[in-house]
Structure 1
Amino acid sequence: MASSIIFVTLALVAAASVPASVMGTDFMVGDDKGWTLNFDYQTWAGGKQFYVGDRLVFKYPESVHNVLKVNGTGFQQCAAPVGTVPLATGNDVIPLLAPGRKWYICGVGKHCAIGMKLVITVLPKTESPAPAPVAGEASAAGGSIAPRYCASIMAVFGIIAMVMV
């Protein structure tokens, strides 16, 4: 019992210390407008950089729209290849797993033809350089432990001490 509590505690501390840059960004397609008609998705995407590991979130009223992943030709012609399975939950999450161009359209009626389509370029995941050490943080040559980690370490030892008593 005590070992499982310690394991869970260590797992939680480890998860909390993972930098946000390791996890991808969720992009709500269309921001607060969502996946809808009368919205310029190319302008929306224009100011953003998408990386492998990010996710696109398509929100829309279920049964009103859908999302189809297509190729460049399908994007231009507003036509999905035969057998393409539409996403249609109204809260579709698409992980960006590989770099390159990605094309998405709405396959309902003439929605794509009147502009309900999105093309993005996904960039390879790049490791950002480690930030310069701040006073009190460990450097590559050694030094003190960063204060943010001290609290986590102390919490783990406190929990272990309570469990062992």
Structure 2
Amino acid sequence: MNMMNIMVSCLCLSVVVPFLMSVQYTEAQRVFVVGEGTGWTTPQDSSTYQSWASNNTFAVGDILSFNFQTTRHNVVEVSEESYTSCTSTNPIGTVYNTGPVNVTLNRTGQHYYICSIGQHCTSGQKLAINVLASALPPSTAAPPPPPPPPMSLASTFSPSSIPFLFICSFIFVFLDIMHGP
């Protein structure tokens, strides 16, 4: 393989590999604004947040963005019993009193959130969601891709090799320029 072929190969790899890696991670994290335009507030309709949640599929790594006015609302993750009875005596994790706040979904299963200020929860300011391991529900999840063949690009390159590929391509271009035609 001559120097020109090596240079072209390195240049192509330095462009293609980062692109392919970025495509792989595009759905890793999504941000959901709870209630969308309504924000996290005492709703007019007590089913507002459950209707919103039913139109979305949540997965580990996703972020719930609760937009609320500090001192007027808060966000408390609670158990199912506390959700049903609108009590916050045993919160799960941090009680968020300063808005807006982003909560990263870090485990699968049911998650319950309420506002513990006044009668906000009993007025419908509460959210129950189911968090899946992946963004697709299990019934529609695509089968996993077949394993790559031995010595494929996927098995030989890692994110840490990207800077090396860029440097390699620039060195070859520089050497080619220095040697001339």
Sort the TM-score into its range (normalised by shorter chain).
Answer: 0.5 to 0.7
Rg larger for = 2
Q: Tell me the secondary structure at the aligned position of residue 95 of structure 2.
A: coil
Give the aligned partner of residue 42 of structure 1: 50
Identity of aligned residues (%): 30
Q: 1:112 to 1:15 in 2, by over 3 A?
A: farther
Of residues 120-129 and 84-93 in structure 1, the stretch that sits farther from structure 2 once superposed is 120-129
| Aligned with residue 113 of structure 1, among 111, 122, 129 | 122
Alignment of 1:68-147 (within 5 A): 68-82=76-90, 85-125=94-134
Cα contact 2:79–2:91 (8 A) shared by 1: no
Q: Distance between the aligned counterparts of 1:30 and 1:114, measured in 2?
A: 15
Q: CA deviation at 1:119?
A: 0.1
Of residues 72-81 and 16-25 in structure 1, the stretch that sits farther from structure 2 once superposed is 16-25
5+ residue gaps, structure 1: 1-9, 132-138, 141-151
5+ residue gaps, structure 2: 1-13, 136-140, 150-161
Q: How many residues align?
A: 141
Q: CA deviation at 1:130?
A: 7.8
Q: Tell me the secondary structure at the aligned position of residue 170 of structure 2.
A: helix
| Aligned with residue 65 of structure 2, among 57, 65, 68 | 57
Q: Tell me the secondary structure at the aligned position of residue 114 of structure 1.
A: coil
Q: Distance between the aligned counterparts of 1:16 and 1:66, measured in 2?
A: 41
Q: CA deviation at 1:160?
A: 3.2
Give the aligned partner of residue 160 of structure 1: 170
Q: Tell me the secondary structure at the aligned position of residue 65 of structure 1.
A: coil
Of residues 87-96 and 112-121 in structure 1, the stretch that sits farther from structure 2 once superposed is 87-96
What is the aligned-residue RMSD (CA, Å)? Answer: 3.9
Q: Does 1:31 align with 2:36?
A: yes
Q: 1:29 to 1:83 in 2, by over 3 A?
A: closer
Q: CA deviation at 1:20?
A: 4.3
Q: 1:15 to 1:36 in 2, by over 3 A?
A: farther
Q: CA deviation at 1:125?
A: 2.1
Q: 1:107 to 1:163 in 2, by over 3 A?
A: farther
Q: CA deviation at 1:98?
A: 0.9
Q: CA deviation at 1:72?
A: 0.4
Q: Distance between the aligned counterparts of 1:77 and 1:27, measured in 2?
A: 26
Q: CA deviation at 1:33?
A: 1.4
Cα contact 2:77–2:91 (8 A) shared by 1: no
